[in-house]
Amino acid sequence: MSPSQFSRLSLCAAAIGALALTALLAGPSRAAEDAVIIPAPTADVQAANGIQTAVIAGGCFWGVQGVFQHTAGVLNAVSGYAGGSKGTANYTLVSAGTTGHAESVEIKYDPKKISYGKILQIFFSVAHDPTQLNRQGPDSGPQYRSAIFTTSDEQKKVAEAYIAQLNAAKVYKKPIVTKVGPLEGFYQAEAYHQDYLTLHPNQPYIVYNDIPKVENLKKIFAENYIEKPTLVSSVKVTN
């Protein structure tokens, strides 16, 4: 186990504690209860030919990646960093919270099988809580912020319109804090962060925070769920 993995596991243990783990075994976790059923966006990106890219951030990238690796139409979901420079795109520096980076996931998808709007709907519904400012669950700091990094003006318009739509519908108890801005660069995270949910399904952090997200994807978005995850280690995608 690397020092970075150990530090996050230690944080997980401190945040959860023995009582919470006992509760997890007894019934649904807090993460499972936090999923919100939301309407689809009224506006969406027009379908285009060829592989498309979406980049999102919603707390620890392990869980977000895991959700989209179980999503039909997603050809690859890679954990990485966005929002800062290439020179600071490594886990040790990003974890300090001063690089401008957010732990992010780059999603390559087939627009004939899943739309950008559906990706955002899953993102807002089961992948994270968009009302938490600079944190998700036990993780806190700007590197865990909720963000959408857009690759086109159309993506920007759709993302902003969807946030306004959800806020107006008051589907959450608090306003959405997700920031929308242009993608200036995505940098793939270290190899040990890739496919983490699948490779470490019994780690307490994953069990408590992330497995429920995949379970909610299966329950709420059954038509978009695939049982076998599409792993970075087994897929090569080019534009």
Which of 31-40, 101-110, 125-134, 141-150 bottoms out in mean pLDDT, i.e. has the lowest?
31-40
Does the annotation mark 12 as catalytic? no
Total Cβ atoms within 10 A of residue 238:
6
What local confidence, expressed as pLDDT, does residue 237 receive? 58
Which of 26-35, 130-139, 156-165, 204-213 bottoms out in mean pLDDT, i.e. has the lowest?
26-35
Confirm whether 24 is domain-assigned.
yes
Tens digit of each residue's pLDDT (9 = 90 or more) over 64-102: 999 999 999 999 999 999 999 999 999 999 999 999 999
Q: What is the CATH number of the domain that holds 210?
A: 3.30.1060.10
Does position 8 have pLDDT exceeding 80, yes or no?
Answer: no
Across 215-225, average pLDDT:
97
Across 24-48, average pLDDT:
72
Confirm whether 107 is domain-assigned.
yes
Does position 130 have pLDDT exceeding 90, yes or no?
Answer: yes
Does position 235 have pLDDT exceeding 80, yes or no?
Answer: no
Q: From CA 231, how far away is CA 78, in angstroms rounded?
A: 9
With a CB cutoff of 8 Å and minimum separation 6, the contacts of 202 are none
Count of structural domains within the chain = 1
Confirm whether 237 is domain-assigned.
no
Confirm whether 142 is domain-assigned.
yes
Helix (H, G, I), strand (E, B) or coil at 159: helix
Confirm whether 71 is domain-assigned.
yes
Q: How confident is the model at residue 49 (pLDDT cuts 50, 70, 90)?
A: confident
Write the single-letter amino acid at 47: A
With a CB cutoff of 8 Å and minimum separation 6, the contacts of 181 are 147, 148, 149, 150
* C-alpha dist (Å) from residue 123 to 12, 90, 162: 22, 24, 12
What region does 137 belong to: left with phi over 0, alpha with psi -120 to 50, or beta? left
Tens digit of each residue's pLDDT (9 = 90 or more) over 144-192: 999 999 999 999 999 999 999 999 999 999 999 999 999 999 999 999 9
Domain of residue 146, residue span:
3-232
What local confidence, expressed as pLDDT, does residue 33 receive? 53
What share of the chain has pLDDT > 90, as a percent?
81
Structure token digits, residue 75: 């050809």
| DSSP bridge partners of 91 | none
Q: From CA 65, how far away is CA 55, in angstroms rounded?
A: 11
Across 29-51, average pLDDT:
82
Across 52-60, average pLDDT:
98
Catalytic choice (31, 35, 55, 60) = 60
Across 202-207, average pLDDT:
96
Confirm whether 238 is domain-assigned.
no
Q: From CA 163, how far away is CA 176, in angstroms rounded?
A: 7
Q: What is the 3-state secondary structure (H, E, C) of 73-141?
A: CEEEEEEEEECCCHHHCCHHHHCCCCCCCEEEEEEEECCCCCCHHHHHHHHHHHHCCCCCCCEECCEEC
Across 12-40, average pLDDT:
52
- Mean pLDDT rounded to a whole number for the chain: 88
Write the single-letter amino acid at 171: V
Does position 40 have pLDDT exceeding 90, yes or no?
Answer: yes
With a CB cutoff of 8 Å and minimum separation 6, the contacts of 3 are none
When comparing pLDDT for 234 and 72, which is higher? 72
Confirm whether 76 is domain-assigned.
yes
Confirm whether 168 is domain-assigned.
yes
> Is the pTM here over 0.85, yes or no?
yes
Structure token digits, residue 60: 């620890």
